[in-house]
Structure 1
Amino acid sequence: MKNFALVGAAGYVAPRHMKAIKETGNDLLVALDKNDSVGVLDRYFPDTLFFTEEKLFIKYIEQLKRDENKKIDYFSVCSPNHLHDYHVSMALRAGANVICEKPLTLNPSNIDILEAVEKESAGTIYTILQLRLHPSIIKLKKRINQENKRQKYNVDLTYITARGNWYQNSWKGSQTKSGGIAINIGIHFFDMLLWLFGELKDSYLHVKEKNKMAGYLELERARVRWFLSIDKKTLPDVILKKGMPVYRSMIVDKQEISFTNGFTDLHTESYGKVLAKKGFKMQEARPSIELASLIRNSVKVNLGEKHFFLA
């Protein structure tokens, strides 16, 4: 059994990490969040010691280091995006390994800083790239490798996840805190595309609004037209009629690749990989962070093939 600390316990994604810690047979000793709406702890770890003040949290972590049976082995970082690299550094300096929710950092240059801190510490940084573990995506990866096509694949990627008015008034609506929807919503999909189809050759941006973005990627083995949105009005009619708030679709050479089911259920598997020393490390996250950063800082241009939602 490994001992965990969790930063960002009141956040949206924190329960998935708590569940993963529980289901992999480990213990959550201590948690931190400036907000105290953390009743979800009772579902998984009612005995977890909870702090709202970082200084007291760190002091307690230091105390635990003196007890071999209670020292923290892993930090789970679920805080707002702009705090991830800070909390990852904090965990490393506390002598622990780190499992960080996406994105590891908002700016590619900060990866170099984290790399230096990691080398100076005894811990290792891991990040959550759960779409690489999705059965449908693994199957597609095997197909691509086996086919070894000379021609590029044609890909249409669509991800719409409806969010209410609260979104823009929270840290997620802030470009400086969340990185905008290119990072907060799109980072997993950009990682998946790069993992499947190889390195970036070119990128064009067609739509850049606070609620939606769209563009074109020229990858080593694919031409990708992508569309991201948190606007309910962009959901297809068939999805709206079903009352569903989310639509995920990837069409590869006119064949639909379904990964809607199971998308939110892969944290436990991600934790299992980390605990077996097979998790995704920092450098594996770099290409998608570089791409998402490029996209969010791009100016709209009328170049490249457009997603069919823009026709």
Structure 2
Amino acid sequence: MISFGIIGVGGYVAPRHLKAIKDTNNTLVCALDPKDSVGILDSYFPNADFFTEFERFDRHINKLRRKKESVGYISICSPNYLHDSHIRFALRNGANAICEKPLVLNPWNIDGLSEIQKESGAKVWNILQLRLHPSIIKLKEQVQKELQDNPSKIYDITLTYLTSRGKWYFVSWKGDESKSGGIATNIGVHFFDMLCFIFGAPQKSSVHISKPDCMGGYLELKHARIRWFLSINANHIPQEFQDKKTYRSIIIDHQEIEFSDGFTDLHTTSYKNILDGKGFGLEDARTCVQIIHDIRNTTPIGLVGDYHPLCQKGLE
């Protein structure tokens, strides 16, 4: 049984990590969150020590080390802009880090983490669970087979992800681009990673519109031309999907890929792979981190070129 710590246990994604730790027959010994609404711990690890101040959590981790009871892994579910710092904290304490996406906000952060990883001997793992989705694995196999027959094939893709968020979003750290990285990072990073995983390295990127509640652009990969649109504005969701408050669509060469289901246990699968030494490390995350960095620092060009049809609605 491996001992875990977790940073950001009060956050939205933390329950998936708690479940994964339990499902892999391991234990959580300590948790940190500045907010104390963490009753979720009672359902998984009620005996875990809990801290609301980083300094006390730091002292506790150090005390465990001196008692030869070090945690083997620290799961990081904190706000995006703190990932880099919290990964460094884990490595300095000899613990492996399991970090939510985005791993970091800037590609040069990966270089720094790589150095500390070498010095510490511990490993950094990133949760890139869409790569483990059965439908995505099947699609990747299909594309690889088609590319063997036609190595120069370029796929035309339309990516649409619309998920409603209330006014709270803009008050929280997620609404602050310096902390979250913006819409493309918050809700788009795992889609960009998944598409690169299947269709190859990025070749070209442009942004058509960029607003606090939506973004649209064009991304060219080795084997794909992608028009993408991401939004947290409920008015952008088609009427028939308003009740679900989410619309997710990937159309490849006029054929829609269905992957709405099958997400439930992907964090547990990720943890199993990590514990077997088969997870996704620093370099696996580099491409998607570069993409979101470039998108965030690109000046929108407006409705010119090959843009997603919803970009026009985004400007209304």
For the Cα contact (< 8 Å) 1:247–1:260, is it kept in 2? no
For the Cα contact (< 8 Å) 1:204–1:304, is it kept in 2? no
| 1:307 partner letter | H
1:47 and 1:245 map into 2 onto residues whose CA distance is 36
For the Cα contact (< 8 Å) 1:162–1:245, is it kept in 2? yes
2:6 is paired with a residue whose SS is strand
2:206 is paired with a residue whose SS is strand
- Residue 52 of structure 2: aligned partner: 52
Q: How far 1:151 sits from its partner (Å)?
A: 2.6
- Residue 81 of structure 2: aligned partner: 82
2:182 and 2:71 map into 1 onto residues whose CA distance is 33
Q: How far 1:66 sits from its partner (Å)?
A: 3.2
For the Cα contact (< 8 Å) 1:206–1:306, is it kept in 2? yes
- Residue 194 of structure 1: aligned partner: 196
2:292 is paired with a residue whose SS is helix
- Paired residues for 1:134-283 under 5 Å: 134-148=133-147, 149=150, 150-240=152-242, 243-283=243-283
- Residue 305 of structure 1: aligned partner: 306
| 2:134 partner letter | P
Q: Per-residue CA shift, 1:94-118, capped at 9, x if unaligned?
A: 1100100011111111111111111
Residues 34 and 125 of structure 1: is their aligned pair in 2 closer, same or farther, counting only changes over 3 Å?
same
Q: How far 1:259 sits from its partner (Å)?
A: 1.3
| 2:286 partner letter | R
Q: Per-residue CA shift, 1:112-155, capped at 9, x if unaligned?
A: 11111111102100000000000111000000000113331010
- TM-score normalised by L of structure 1: 0.97
Gap regions ≥5 residues in structure 1:
none
2:87 and 2:279 map into 1 onto residues whose CA distance is 16
| 1:306 partner letter | Y
For the Cα contact (< 8 Å) 1:200–1:220, is it kept in 2? yes
1:263 and 1:205 map into 2 onto residues whose CA distance is 29
| 2:86 partner letter | H
Q: Per-residue CA shift, 1:167-202, capped at 9, x if unaligned?
A: 000000001100001111111011011111111111
Gap regions ≥5 residues in structure 2:
none
1:227 and 1:265 map into 2 onto residues whose CA distance is 27
1:267 is paired with a residue whose SS is helix
1:304 and 1:202 map into 2 onto residues whose CA distance is 13
- Residue 5 of structure 1: aligned partner: 5
For the Cα contact (< 8 Å) 1:205–1:298, is it kept in 2? yes
Question: Residue 71 in 1 paired to residue 73 in 2?
Answer: no
2:166 and 2:45 map into 1 onto residues whose CA distance is 30
2:106 is paired with a residue whose SS is coil
Question: Residue 116 in 1 paired to residue 95 in 2?
Answer: no
Q: How far 1:264 sits from its partner (Å)?
A: 5.0
For the Cα contact (< 8 Å) 1:162–1:230, is it kept in 2? yes
Q: How far 1:212 sits from its partner (Å)?
A: 0.3
| 1:42 partner letter | D
Q: How far 1:30 sits from its partner (Å)?
A: 0.1
1:67 and 1:122 map into 2 onto residues whose CA distance is 20
Q: How far 1:250 sits from its partner (Å)?
A: 0.5
| 2:42 partner letter | D
Q: Per-residue CA shift, 1:224-273, capped at 9, x if unaligned?
A: 11110011110011111xx1011111111111111111235311100011
RMSD (CA atoms): 1.1
- TM-score normalised by L of structure 2: 0.95
2:161 is paired with a residue whose SS is strand
